[in-house]
Amino acid sequence: MKLSSSFKEGRALPNSDCAHCQHYDKAKMSCAAFQGAIPAAILMGHKRHRAVLPAQVKSWTFTPFLNTEKWIDHFSPINQ
């Protein structure tokens, strides 16, 4: 999946929904809810992803990790 051109690295900022969501793929820096790039406003934390958007291909929205251990595993360095 392509990344938003306005946020070339595609890394979710700590205050974004993506950084705390089960659907964010850190390795690919993408989300299956969006066919192309994750909208920059969501990825950068300027807009929340609490409702399905017209640009989505799946009806997923922000789904937080239910326990800290899964969150740590998901966001630990890729090649640890």
Could you give the CA distance from residue 67 to residue 56 in angstroms, rounded to a whole number? Answer: 27
pLDDT of residue 49: 92
Q: What is the pLDDT of residue 43?
A: 86
pLDDT digits (tens, 9 = 90+) for 24-39: 888 888 898 998 889 9
Q: What is the pLDDT of residue 55?
A: 83
pLDDT above 80 (res 45): yes
In the chain, how many domains are there? 1
pLDDT over 50 (residue 42): yes
Name the pTM for this structure: 0.67
Cα–Cα dist 5/56, whole Å:
17
Greatest alpha-carbon span in the chain:
37
Q: How far apart are CA 35 and CA 37, in angstroms?
A: 7
Domain that includes residue 26, residue range: 1-49+56-80
> Which pLDDT belongs to residue 74?
56
pLDDT value for 15: 81
Mean pLDDT of 62-67: 81
